[in-house]
Amino acid sequence: MKANIHPKWYDDCKVTCACGNSFVVGATVPSFQVEVCSNCHPFYTGQMKYVDTAGRVDAFLSKKAKAQTQRVSKSEKRKIKKQKQLQKELERPDTLEELRTMVKNSKKQKLQATKKDNK
């Protein structure tokens, strides 16, 4: 074995559980904490309890409820898309003369805006 490449081994590493139980094992760190141990785990105790880490169950239920309220069917999406397309077509100018006046007006507005910025 090569020297000085392996981590230090602690034979008396103290493990502390969230339920208050503590025990000693061998590890590469002097002590650490766990959320569930054999004294409080439902499989070993026979008691039914939810182990909720950082509110994951609540987060899942809130996402599920949000998804149910915001559901839109495909036919509704198609109708909305069609309405947007129709609205775009209505906003376009009908004649070439209208298009020219729109362009001319937009150029005037840009010039006025740049003059105001320069002052």
The structural domains of the chain, with segments of one domain joined by +, span 1-51, 54-93
- The mean pLDDT value for 70-89 works out to 89
- At 26, the pLDDT band (50, 70, 90 cuts) reads very high
Say if pTM beats, i.e. exceeds, 0.75: no
| Those residues with Cβ within 8 angstroms of residue 49's Cβ, 6 or more apart along the chain or in another chain | 42
Nearest to 37 by CA among 12, 52, 17: 17
Percent above pLDDT 90 for the chain: 35
Q: Is 72 helix (H, G, I), strand (E, B) or coil?
A: coil
Residue 10: per-residue pLDDT: 94
Residue 72: per-residue pLDDT: 78
Indicate the CATH number for domain 1-51. 4.10.80.400
**Residues 34, 15: contact at Cβ < 8 Å?**
yes
Residue 113: per-residue pLDDT: 84
DSSP strand E in the chain: where?
10-17, 22-27, 31-34
Instruction: Name the one residue in this structure whose structure tokens are 């320069």.
Output: 118
